[in-house]
Structure 1
Amino acid sequence: MPFVPLSFVVAILLLVLFGASVRQLGEERPANRPLLALILVSAFLSLLSGLRWGYGVQGAIMYLAPVSAAAVPPLAYVGVTKLVRRSRAPLANRLILHALPMVAIVVLLATWRDPIDMALVLIFLGYAVAILLLMRTGTDALRLAPFEEAVPAYQAILFAALALLFSAAVDTFVFVDMTWMRGEHTPPLIAVGNLASLVLLSIAAATASRSQSATETIDATAPTETYGDKETLAAVETLMAMKHVYRDADLNLDRMARKLGVPARQVSVAINRATGKNVSQYVNEHRIAEACELLVETDKAVTEIMFEVGFQTKSNFNREFRRVTEMSPLEWREQKARAARIAIKHDP
């Protein structure tokens, strides 16, 4: 029976994950290409790992593996920035800038191979810290992610940063093992550590890639106003109450700020200070408030209500509903119906 390395199985699973992520893309929402490319690169690295440690193949793999590994952190970072801020620079230009780590590894392969492992560790550490700095303001940092998906996207991005840190730790142990113990523990470290980090990173990338908001035309000349927190919050409340913008499933911080004509950071800070909540929580609570009313006042199905108030997935709707009310939508409807029957029964 032929031997099939675990790395090959992981590569196949990552390709399946890539295919599933691509199929979930809608026509209106563009693909987060860097995060999808990250999954493919991870699958390629798993394949190379299987060839090297499973079958002892060396040759070109000794060059392809470190260069491919150097592409992983930049792809993760560029993919995250597509959810954090709009860039006027073309994606190709940004990718060229972040190709410098790969160029550095190529130069080291041609001139001085000894520090390559530690160079990769520094690349992974540097980009992990950069991603964590982007996320320092919490879910409000994801200006371009729909509010419904901000929480899972934020968690996935933090998970990706931790996976980069974990991979850097594994590479450090591999470097020590190769230097001081003649690589005695390197194969199991590669098989378990690096493969685990690639899987975790790819799952996080697939989750975050689904949070790309719909594209829309940007008016760079649109005026913006600066108000105090009270004025900003009052404008937001008016927008919510009169125009019900929270029903827009693709609503995000950037789009809300443009509707108000104020900077996105100003909206975020005003809501944070006045309510103690981030913007996604604030918007989702407006959605849940209307859902609660519809559950009591109508006989509409829970799924119909979910779509009507701006949610697109049951998992996100149920999570936010339970966060706000501490019960499920059906439990809420049954409790209110029971309370109404008791009130009628005791009404003189």
Structure 2
Amino acid sequence: MISIPVSFLLAAVFLSLGIAALNWRSLPSVARGLFVWLFGLLTLEAALVGARFAFGVVELLTVQRVLPVWIAPSVYLAFVSLTVSGERTRQLVVLNFGAAAIVTVAMHLPVPVAGYVDGLIGASYAVYALALARLWCLGPDVFCQAPTNKSGLLRNLLSFSILIMLATLLIDAFVAYLFAQQSEVAAALAISLASLFFLVLAVGAAFGVLGARFGQSRAKVEESVGNDAQRAEIVDSARKVLVDQEFFRDPSLTLTRLARRVGVPDRDLSRAVNAVEGVNVSQFVNLVRLAEAERLLVTTDEPVGRIQERAGFLTRSNFYREFQKAYGEAPGAYRKNAQSSL
């Protein structure tokens, strides 16, 4: 049956994502640890599902049933840790894992209601799916603790996570119904197809992380930072920090670090840049980097790879994509045409 290899293959993909998260050094250590914890739980859950349907192992069924109420808050905490300080993250960990512990105890209470446990699991996924959706609505600049050039990728991963949680909610409800109808063969088939669906999404997420292909999103301005002059002043200050202090050269630059150097709250900087420039902070920083790269291409004979590094771009693919989008040509072709016209 397809569910046998797919569940274990899914566990292998989650394990590889956990290893990738462990080595994602540009993320804060707390966030990195939470992502590793999350993928560890997902690996264990997928392996237990495979063991149950491949080998009929039911001794660990209790663990398999409990894990989802820990996975849902773990997904939320992994992403929210990139939006708040380390101290606030620790407070949220205690709060959310405390709630998960209470739900775990509640699952073992002798409540004579059909579907009671499935209802608790479904409620957990629904609550955290809404929490993640709210986080997504805040825009890419919400990931203020992550490097600015990672905001698009993180938002795409957040979208993946919301989709997976909603799909899990629906699939679990359907599988619970099939088991209630004693249609175990149909339930196994549903789990098989669900595992295949999750495998496709997980592989897509893996390629997104390992390939580091960053999407770009436009931040939403929710309220005024002040008048137009104040916004323009904040943006000018940010540009001076980036250019005069060569802050843009740091590929691990974060919104929080830039805002702190400018002397304004993260949200004020994000809203000012969006209002004045019509882009998010990640795009704003990239524009400064691209301007420097363009200058170096025209005025120096440095290799393109060296210019990429000096301009603050972490990967060659991202640099080439952003440069061609801004100037209509690859860096090498742009240099050749610019120098031939001098």
Establish whether residue 44 from structure 1 lines up as the match of residue 44 from structure 2: yes
Sort the Cα spacing of 1:24 and 1:77 in 2 relative to 1 into closer, same or farther, 3 A. Answer: closer
Deviation at 1:288, TM superposition (A): 0.8
Give the Cα separation in 2 of the matches to 1:247 and 1:337.
25
Tell me the amino acid that sits aligned with residue 14 of structure 2. Answer: L
Deviation at 1:95, TM superposition (A): 2.5
Partner of residue 157, structure 2: 156
> In structure 2, the residue corresponding to 1:98 is in which secondary structure?
helix
Give the Cα separation in 2 of the matches to 1:319 and 1:41.
35
* Aligned residues of 1:36 and 1:205 also touching (Cα < 8 A): no
* Aligned residues of 1:14 and 1:42 also touching (Cα < 8 A): yes
Deviation at 1:125, TM superposition (A): 2.1
Partner of residue 214, structure 1: none
* TM-score, scaled relative to structure 1: 0.82
Sort the Cα spacing of 1:139 and 1:89 in 2 relative to 1 into closer, same or farther, 3 A. Answer: closer
User: Structure 1: any 5+ residue segments left out of the alignment?
Assistant: 212-224
Which of 229, 233, 236 is the equivalent residue of 1:234?
A: 236
Partner of residue 141, structure 1: 142
Sort the Cα spacing of 1:8 and 1:301 in 2 relative to 1 into closer, same or farther, 3 A. Answer: same
Partner of residue 216, structure 1: none
Partner of residue 19, structure 2: 19
Which of 273, 288, 293 is the equivalent residue of 1:271?
A: 273
Partner of residue 220, structure 2: none
Sort the Cα spacing of 1:262 and 1:138 in 2 relative to 1 into closer, same or farther, 3 A. Answer: same
Give the Cα separation in 2 of the matches to 1:82 and 1:297.
42
* TM-score, scaled relative to structure 2: 0.84
Q: What CA deviation, in whole Å up to 9, does each residue of 1:130-158 have, x standing for no partner? A: 11211213111111111122111221122
Give the Cα separation in 1 of the matches to 2:199 and 2:168.
8
Deviation at 1:51, TM superposition (A): 1.4
Percent identity over the alignment?
27
* Aligned residues of 1:18 and 1:206 also touching (Cα < 8 A): no
Give the number of aligned pairs: 322
Deviation at 1:206, TM superposition (A): 9.5
Partner of residue 8, structure 2: 8
Deviation at 1:198, TM superposition (A): 6.6
Give the Cα separation in 2 of the matches to 1:296 and 1:81.
42
Q: What CA deviation, in whole Å up to 9, does each residue of 1:265-309 have, x standing for no partner? A: 111111111111111101101101111111122221121111101
* Aligned residues of 2:22 and 2:32 also touching (Cα < 8 A): no
Q: What CA deviation, in whole Å up to 9, does each residue of 1:179-214 have, x standing for no partner? A: 346344211221231464377358748967999xxx
CA RMSD, aligned part only?
Answer: 2.9
Q: What CA deviation, in whole Å up to 9, does each residue of 1:17-60 have, x standing for no partner? A: 3334434537x95361111111111110111101111112213x
User: Structure 2: any 5+ residue segments left out of the alignment?
Assistant: 213-225
Which of 329, 332, 338 is the equivalent residue of 1:330?
A: 332
Tell me the amino acid that sits aligned with residue 141 of structure 1. Answer: V
Deviation at 1:8, TM superposition (A): 2.2
Compare 197-206 and 173-182 and name the one that shifted more.
Answer: 197-206
Give the Cα separation in 2 of the matches to 1:206 and 1:269.
31
Aligned ranges for residues 1-348 of structure 1 at < 5 Å?
A: 5-25=5-25, 30=29, 32-59=32-59, 61-89=60-88, 91=90, 93-99=91-97, 100-112=99-111, 114-180=115-181, 182-194=183-195, 196-197=197-198, 200=201, 204=205, 228-338=230-340, 340=341
Deviation at 1:258, TM superposition (A): 0.6
Give the Cα separation in 2 of the matches to 1:203 and 1:84.
24
Give the Cα separation in 2 of the matches to 1:332 and 1:87.
43
Sort the Cα spacing of 1:271 and 1:13 in 2 relative to 1 into closer, same or farther, 3 A. Answer: closer
Sort the Cα spacing of 1:172 and 1:202 in 2 relative to 1 into closer, same or farther, 3 A. Answer: farther
Sort the Cα spacing of 1:23 and 1:276 in 2 relative to 1 into closer, same or farther, 3 A. Answer: closer
Q: What CA deviation, in whole Å up to 9, does each residue of 1:156-189 have, x standing for no partner? A: 1221121111211211221232234634421122
Sort the Cα spacing of 1:282 and 1:235 in 2 relative to 1 into closer, same or farther, 3 A. Answer: same
Give the Cα separation in 1 of the matches to 2:308 and 2:157.
24
Deviation at 1:247, TM superposition (A): 1.2
Tell me the amino acid that sits aligned with residue 313 of structure 1. Answer: T
Tell me the amino acid that sits aligned with residue 51 of structure 1. Answer: A
Tell me the amino acid that sits aligned with residue 132 of structure 1. Answer: A
* Aligned residues of 1:38 and 1:75 also touching (Cα < 8 A): yes
